[in-house]
Amino acid sequence: MFATRIDDGSIRRIIIRPNRSLTWEQTKFVYFCIASYSLAIAGVFAVMGFWPVLPFAGGEIALLGVAFYVNALAGTSVQVVTVDADVVKVEKERPGPRSEWLFPRAWAQVNIDGSAGHGSSRLVVRSHGTEVVLGEFLPEAERERLAAALVDVIRGGSATSARRIREAERVEDA
């Protein structure tokens, strides 16, 4: 999901983040419910004399916890594209170090490269041999809308075009 924000007349920001359906608290609650249910069933089998079920249930719950944690951690990544009068700045904050790229606005290009495998494309901002992939977690249709918004903002789009993008997002969300 991405949002366009206009800070003032000369600076525009596009914030891109994954669309996660659960908050961290909700994820922990779902994990607790699944773990409780699984361990209750394993406990019943252990009482009936099938005690070897317990280590397998424990291993299953541990792996599920790791998967939930990795998924929740991936949902915290944020990509911010800031366009001012002369520079296009791309920042990626993911789990781990923060990265930043600066491109001269006049030379910055936004391209959607063809299929990168499994029928998906890559949205890249490039200039002078340096490129940054954006929105790799977005669905294909949203990646295309993001590309159009980036081209519009970088090539001097007006505030009304940013409003049109926001209105289109509201229509799609409804």
Q: Which single residue is written with the structure tokens 């936004």?
A: 110
- Is 125 within 8 Å of 132 (Cβ atoms)? yes
Domain 2-20+76-173 has CATH 2.30.29: yes
Distance of alpha carbon 101 from alpha carbon 95, whole angstroms: 18
The domain segmentation of the chain, as residue ranges, is 2-20+76-173, 24-74
pTM (2 decimals)? 0.69
* Complete DSSP assignment for 88-157: EEEEEE-SS-EEEEEEETTT-EEEEES--STT--EEEEEETTEEEEE-TTS-HHHHHHHHHHHHHHHTT-
Q: Give 21-48 pLDDT, tens digit per residue.
A: 888 999 999 999 999 999 999 999 999 9
Confidence of residue 173 (pLDDT cuts 50, 70, 90): low
pLDDT for 85 equals 84
Q: Give 105-159 pLDDT, tens digit per residue.
A: 989 999 888 765 566 788 999 998 899 999 888 888 888 899 988 998 888 754 4
